[in-house]
Amino acid sequence: MNDVIIIGGGPAGVAAGVYAARKQMKTVFIADQIGGQSVVSDGIANWIGDQLLSGVELAKKLEEHLKSYADDLEIVVPGHCEAVTQNADGSFHIITNKGAFDAKTVIATTGGRHRTLNVPGEEQLNGKGVAYCATCDAPFFKGKDVAVVGGGNSGLESVEDLLPYANKIYLLARRDELRGDPITQKKVLDSDQVEVLYKTNTLEIAGEAMVTGLRYEDLASGEHKNLSVQGVFVEIGSVPNSEFLSDLVVLNDRREVVVDHRTFATSVPGVFAAGDVTDELYKQNNIAVGDAIKATLSAYEYVKKMV
Amino acid sequence: MAQVTVYSTPTCGYCKMEKEFLSENNIDFIEIDVAADEQAAQKMVEKTGQIGVPQTIITMDDGTEETLIGFDEERLRGLLKIA
């Protein structure tokens, strides 16, 4: 019987892995990959201890730190957790694509993923003009007209990534103002290439083989309007990867795992969670690390009390 | 030996991860920077019908081609017999 199974390979999962190893807990670490959501980031300037590093560099550091404890941990990467159930004796049964595991405690650090618009055309045209990573895919839209949906930081940064390539960039915001850092807002608003459309609701992405347009509602007038674009970048926040826990622990209306913010215990004793998968207010790498350490120390105390 | 071609852009995180993964496992590959080579980008999109990077085309020993969209470590391990 394992003491703990850690599910998820971002900063939170790695922090939990390091602490569990140092507490000599019998640990299984399972993740699709190590690195977390920041892997796509070109430059991270707020990871404490590093003035600037790329998402890939951060991933590398996390992986090296975790693997320095390879003798003390069972690392299952790439591996994917499908479900967690509770055994009759109170321990947990974890079903993965790499077999099943049993453990006294679970720490869920599965983070979040891109929120999708959920409008007609989005799924069919994914990779055919609909994109979720401007940093990666901007060069494909050289000289083309594109739309970015989302008036927050990630939407603004996508516009920045597209500026050197795209011809015209429509930025669709839901509110009558942009959120996001003032410094990025200014750069975006100052560009002749950018047209910001406020108070909009995206209705449909049009196209057969490739994206040809976007239909939206002008919320001020109620009118439906069409944009002729060859690319649509969706940047409307994230959703927690909490599905595998939904039958076990309490989630809030955003599908985030509800935790006690002192112990990072969930509604089920023995199950802990940390980072972006939880109802933590601030979705940040540094915070995910701290939360995960609290969760791990709580799991350690929980296991100690069992004997 | 299977021939591996990786289509990438310089700023793409998953591209870097895939290329490092291949290098660490001593797999030779041809890298095409679609940000620098517009024609190659167009050819890739025509071939796979997919815009976006990374994309990997593996020509197997028997001549068949496998296309991978995104950094798909599981499939790379399977196709290239990486333990």
DSSP conformation letters of A83-101? EEEE-TTS-EEEEEBTEEE
For A80, the 3-state DSSP assignment is coil
> Nearest residue of A to residue B52 by CA position?
A137
ipTM of the prediction: 0.84
> Nearest residue of A to residue B12 by CA position?
A136
Contact A251, A231 (CB under 8 A): no
> What is the C-alpha separation between B1 and A291, in angstroms, rounded?
46
Structural domains of chain A, with CATH? 2-114+238-306 (3.50.50.60), 130-234 (3.50.50.60)
Q: List residues bridging with B67 in a β-sheet.
A: B57
User: How far B25 CA sits from the closest chain A CA (Å)?
Assistant: 15
Which residue in A33, A128, A161 is closest to B51 by CB distance? A128
* Residue in the structure block whose two tokens are 């140092």: A22
Residues 6+ apart with CB under 8 A from A263: A272, A294, A295, A298
Q: What is the residue-level pLDDT of chain A in tens, covering all 307 positions?
A: 999 999 999 999 999 999 999 999 999 999 999 999 988 887 888 999 999 999 999 999 999 999 999 999 999 999 999 999 999 999 999 999 999 999 999 999 999 999 999 999 999 999 999 999 998 899 999 999 999 999 998 899 999 999 999 999 999 999 999 988 898 899 999 999 999 999 999 999 999 999 999 999 999 999 999 999 999 999 998 999 999 999 999 999 999 999 999 999 999 999 999 999 999 999 999 999 999 999 999 999 999 998 6
User: For an interface test with B, which of A38, A97, A130, A137 has the most B Cβ atoms less than 10 Å from its Cβ?
Assistant: A137
User: How far A270 CA sits from the closest chain B CA (Å)?
Assistant: 31
CA B1 to the chain's CA centroid:
15
Q: pTM for the full model? A: 0.85
Contact A200, A173 (CB under 8 A): yes
Task: Inspect the interface and report whether the beta carbons of B74 and A136 lie closer than 8 Å.
Answer: no
Task: Give the burial class of A273: count Cβ atoms within 10 A of its Cβ; 0-12 exposed, 13-18 middle, 19 or more buried.
Answer: buried
Q: Which of A290, A249, A256 is nearest to A271 (CA)?
A: A249
Task: Inspect the interface and report whether the beta carbons of A56 and B41 lie closer than 8 Å.
Answer: no
Task: Inspect the interface and report whether the beta carbons of A139 and B41 lie closer than 8 Å.
Answer: yes
User: How far A262 CA sits from the closest chain B CA (Å)?
Assistant: 34
Which residues of chain B does A209 touch, with a Cβ-Cβ cutoff of 8 Å?
49
> What is the C-alpha separation between A147 and A229, in angstroms, rounded?
7
CATH of the domain spanning B3-79, picked from 3.40.50.300, 2.70.50.30, 3.40.30.10, 3.40.50.2000: 3.40.30.10
Burial state string for A52-82 with b = 16 or more CB within 10 A and e = fewer than 16: ebbbbbbbbbbbeebeebeebbebbbbbbbe
